[in-house]
């Protein structure tokens, strides 16, 4: 499994608060999921709030 993320510091851009709110995308890739020869990949929206 591979899971790459690309994040943008939206809190710094909109509210002048660094490292609190991130927006981005995430890509998941599975090979041989659950012991089968099946491959699966997914692109998802990502929102991270640190407090």
- pLDDT digit string (tens) for 32-43? 878 888 888 999
- pLDDT digit string (tens) for 2-20? 999 999 999 999 999 999 9
For the entire predicted model, the pTM comes to: 0.78
As to burial, measured by CB atoms within 10 angstroms (0-12 exposed, 13-18 middle, 19+ buried), residue 21 is: buried
Query: What would the two tokens of residue 35 be?
Result: 């012991």
| Cβ proximity of 40 and 34 under 8 Å | no
């Amino acid at each position: 499994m591979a899971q790459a993320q690309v994040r943008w510091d939206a809190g710094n851009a909109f509210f002048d608060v660094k490292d609190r709110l991130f927006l981005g995308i995430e890509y998941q890739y599975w090979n041989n999921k659950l012991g089968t020869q099946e491959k699966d990949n997914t692109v998802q929206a990502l929102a991270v709030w640190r407090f």
